[in-house]
Structure 1
Amino acid sequence: MLWPGLVEPPVDITIPPPIVVRTPVLVVFYWMLMSLDYLVLKYESKIPLSKMQVRIVLAIVHVAIPLVIASSRVAANLFFIALPWFYAAYSSLIPVEKYSYREWSESLQYLLLDAPDDKRLQLATRMIPKLELSKQEQRDARIKGAARIGRGVCKLIVMKLIVDPLLPEQQQLSSMLMLPWLHPTSLLLTLLFGCKAYFFLGVADVGMGLQQVSLGVPTVDLFDRPMIAATPREFWR
């Protein structure tokens, strides 16, 4: 990592490159990893570790795996860094030992369900055995899912055609760090990188939209108009 005003980092640690595999292989790998999470949490009473130690081991594994195995596609890497960790953290908080594999898999979709928090909690802990939606609600969810896919595609197009051409080339990024923090160019580039990060989340819109279209289950938006948020709370809502 470069510090402002330095061309060379004060501490230079070389990390070996990851093992690059095709995206379908990565999908299968992470499905197996998440299934292993389920087995570990379901039978953790038989593991000679405390409850906290089991969760620390799971956290270390999920932090280390993306450093070891990756895809050649940036979108796939972003997806697989966040989602398995997200579900592992969620699974560590619910009574997985009471769930069959199918029940556990179904409970994961309730995490992003567009419903009040108390209803999501009741579904996740099986106080409510199953999500019941009318045909009209499923139809509305699929229509909104299709709109989300379109919105995600538009974000990616804007990123590719408008934002990316304004950013410096890869080999010029180090020169950006030599600028003062409040230099106009530095501020502009910081804004552009923030816009790129937001538009890149169109990948998540497309993925969640496909899930919504296929399952007919409404899911929450990751962000609600973050560009006009007045407070950090509004930004993350």
Structure 2
Amino acid sequence: MSSPLLNITLPNPIVLPTLQLTGLYACVLGLDYILLRNQNNLVFISKNSLRIAMTITHAIIPLTVVSPLSPNNVTFAAVPWFLASYSAYLPTQDFTLKEWLRSLYNTIVDREADYHNIHRAGLIKAGRGLLKLAVLYFGIEPLLPTMPDQMLQYPWLSQKSLIDTFLFGVKAYLVLGVVDVTTGVAQAVTGWCMVDMFDSPLLATSPIDFWSKRWNRTIRNLLHAQVFTSNHAPKDEKKKPAGFLSTNAGRGLLSFIVSGAFHELIICSVCRKLTLENFCFFSIHGLACMLESKYFNKKKPITNIGKVSRIACQLGFMVLTGRLFLAPFLRHRFTEILPLTF
């Protein structure tokens, strides 16, 4: 079996029942809100330091305390950290729950959609998610190896490794069809037009097309608001000399680096391993997007043959690098239940 780039094992965590851990996170998130609501009155810490401390706290908690089930720990590591880092970019003046919810609403709801029947579209979205799960169960699962980590026994560029990488990548996409189900039901009930998380990612024609338009569009909206349209962004890069990280290209690369660090946090929490494979995966794709943005002529018309060839090249790039993303998760036994500490 291929070895990870780095193989550091973390100490065993404190394992609490899922309900108790949910209560712990609820208390911490409530404390976040109280501190943000009263940040103007805090004299012992600045506003920026407070928000950085919140993000660090939510990064430390999943490394220290987990639930017995690995799938639950993915959520525990991701959602609170996302909310804390998201709150860090909200206005520092007049912070209210209404303002926080409105900003979050603008991230998850597609305000530009023009559906004649939003409730019906929500049901269609939920049905699409169920179809994805059916394709996963009946079409993809039978083709995958019984033990997921068997794929890692083959050389990186072997036919078996490349095929399994593609199939596991499709599986990851189809598993998230459950998001279509939940958001579709929420849309049908509330009438809010929820942002589609995906837009046919298998048809992406380039790294930028994949990450900016087709994959996890909710996070894309958040990163776009934080990285490219924040008050810190220079209005005219040509007129305002700045360092690399102050340019759009630098910010874009930085967003991939942060995303890589975030995924390493999830792996450390769930798998108790630090491998840096996900960090390298996102860094490589960040560099690819930066190079595409600088050297690729987007105004040139694309023929049908050219589009097909670009889709093939993009799929090839994902397959060649996808093992970096998949390997830490394939090595971990997600069905294993951890014994409770208390």
| Bin of the TM-score, shorter chain as denominator length | 0.7 to 0.9
> How many aligned positions are there?
210
Residue in 2 that maps onto 1:69: 66
126, 131, 134: which one aligns with 1:154: 131
Q: Is the 8 A contact 1:145 1:213 kept in 2?
A: yes
CA distance in structure 2 between the partners assigned to 1:73 and 1:20 by the alignment: 12
Residue in 2 that maps onto 1:222: 197
Pairing 1:63-142 to 2, within 5 Å after superposition:
63-67=59-63, 68-70=65-67, 72=69, 74=71, 76-95=72-91, 97-115=93-111, 140-142=117-119
Residue in 1 that maps onto 2:165: 190
Residue in 2 that maps onto 1:121: none
Q: Is the 8 A contact 2:36 2:95 kept in 1?
A: no
Identity rate, percent: 35
1:169 aligns with 2:146: yes
48, 52, 55: which one aligns with 2:51: 55
The secondary structure found in structure 2 opposite 1:227 is helix
Residue in 2 that maps onto 1:16: 12
How far the C-alpha of 1:103 sits from its partner, in A, is 4.3
The secondary structure found in structure 2 opposite 1:180 is coil
1:42 aligns with 2:37: yes
How far the C-alpha of 1:195 sits from its partner, in A, is 0.7
User: TM-score, normalised to structure 2's length?
Assistant: 0.53
CA distance in structure 2 between the partners assigned to 1:160 and 1:20 by the alignment: 31
Task: Structure 1 unaligned segments of length 5 or more: list them.
Answer: 117-135
CA distance in structure 2 between the partners assigned to 1:163 and 1:18 by the alignment: 36
The letter of the residue matching 2:12 is P
Residue in 2 that maps onto 1:143: 120
Task: Structure 2 unaligned segments of length 5 or more: list them.
Answer: 214-342
Q: Is the 8 A contact 1:55 1:92 kept in 2?
A: yes
1:128-169 deviation digits (Å, cap 9, x = unpaired): xxxxxxxx96x7222222112111122222222322232223
Q: Are the structure 2 counterparts of residues 20 and 198 from structure 1 closer, same or farther at C-alpha, using a change threshold of 3 Å?
A: farther
Q: Is the 8 A contact 1:87 1:108 kept in 2?
A: no
How far the C-alpha of 1:92 sits from its partner, in A, is 1.5
Looking at both structures, which has the greater relative contact order when contacts are Cα pairs under 8 Å and sequence separation is at least 6? 2
User: TM-score, normalised to structure 1's length?
Assistant: 0.73
1:166-213 deviation digits (Å, cap 9, x = unpaired): 22234x61x432322110000011111111110111122222223222
Q: Is the 8 A contact 2:47 2:92 kept in 1?
A: no
CA distance in structure 1 between the partners assigned to 2:121 and 2:60 by the alignment: 36
CA distance in structure 2 between the partners assigned to 1:101 and 1:15 by the alignment: 37
Q: Are the structure 2 counterparts of residues 34 and 12 from structure 1 closer, same or farther at C-alpha, using a change threshold of 3 Å?
A: closer
CA distance in structure 1 between the partners assigned to 2:168 and 2:117 by the alignment: 35
1:46-68 deviation digits (Å, cap 9, x = unpaired): 06233343233222222233342
